[in-house]
Amino acid sequence: MSGSDGRSIRDPKDDILELTDIHEDTAVFGELVEDLMRRTSHQHQQGTAPSTTSTTNHSMIRHLKIDGYGGLREPPWRESRNIDLFFHALTLHPLASIRLENLGMYPYDERSGTFPIRLLTKLLQPNGTAPSCLCELELRDVILEGSAEEWRQFSWTLASLNSLQIFLLETCDCAINFPAEQFTNFNQVLRNLWAGPLQSKTLQHLTLHPAQNYGGDLDSATISTILRQSPSLQKLSISNIGRLNNDIMTSLFISLATHSQDGEDETTAPAPSPLSLRFLQLKNCEMNQAALTAMSQFLECQQPSLKSIQLGLSSTPKQRDIPYIYRESSMVGLFETLKHNRTLEKFVLSSDGMPPKMGTKASKAYLDMMRHNCSLLDMFVTYPNLHFHPNLMGFYAKLNRVGRRRFLLDGHLRTRDEWVDMLACVADDESCLFYFLRLHPLLCKI
Neighbours of 417 (CB within 10 A): 9
pLDDT of 249 over the 60 cut: yes
**pLDDT > 70 fraction of the chain, expressed in percent and rounded:** 69
Closest to 193 (Cα-Cα) out of 225, 146, 159: 159
Check whether 267 has a pLDDT greater than 60: no
Does residue 55 or residue 225 have the better pLDDT? 225
R_g of the chain computed on alpha carbons: 26
Average pLDDT over residues 172-181: 61
* Predicted confidence (pLDDT) per residue in 300-319, tens digit: 998 888 999 999 887 655 55
Give the other-Cβ count within 10 Å of 167's Cβ: 24
Start-to-end Cα distance in the chain: 58
b or e along 309-324 (b: 16 or more beta carbons within 10 Å of the residue's beta carbon)?
Answer: bbbbbbbeeeeeeebb
Q: Tell me, what DSSP letter sits at residue 280?
A: E
According to DSSP, residue 358 is labeled: P
Give yes or no for a contact between 62 and 99, defined as CB atoms under 8 angstroms apart: no
302 exposed, middle or buried (CB, 10 Å; 0-12, 13-18, 19+)?
A: middle
Task: Please give the helix or strand (H or E) that residue 306 lies within, else none.
Answer: none
**Distance (Å, whole) CA 311 – CA 246:** 13
Is residue 327 predicted with pLDDT exceeding 70?
yes
pLDDT of 251 reads 86
Phi, psi of 155, deg, nearest 5: -60, -45
What residues are paired with 145 via a beta bridge? Answer: 116
Q: What is the CATH code of the structural domain delimited by 244-260+274-401?
A: 3.80.10.10
Among 3.30.565.10, 3.80.10.10, 3.40.50.1970, 3.40.50.10490, what is the CATH number of 1-242?
3.80.10.10
- pLDDT of residue 91 exceeding 70, the answer is yes
Q: Which of 203, 331, 347 is nearest to 279 (CA)?
A: 347
pTM: 0.81
- Among 156, 157, 214, smallest CA distance to 190 is for 214
Task: Domain ranges for the chain, please list them.
Answer: 1-242, 244-260+274-401, 412-446
> What is the spatial distance between Cα 128 and Cα 176, in angstroms, rounded to a whole number?
35
pLDDT reported for residue 291: 92
Q: 368 forms bridges with which residues in the sheet?
A: none
Same fold, 1-242 and 244-260+274-401: yes
- Using one digit for the tens of pLDDT, what is the confidence trace for 4-60? 444 554 555 588 999 887 777 788 888 889 888 888 876 656 555 444 444 444 578
Q: Round to whole Å and give the CA distance between 125 and 215.
A: 27
Give residue 376's pLDDT: 92
Q: State the pLDDT confidence band at 280, using cuts at 50, 70 and 90.
A: very high
Which residue did the predictor score with more confidence, 393 or 349? 349
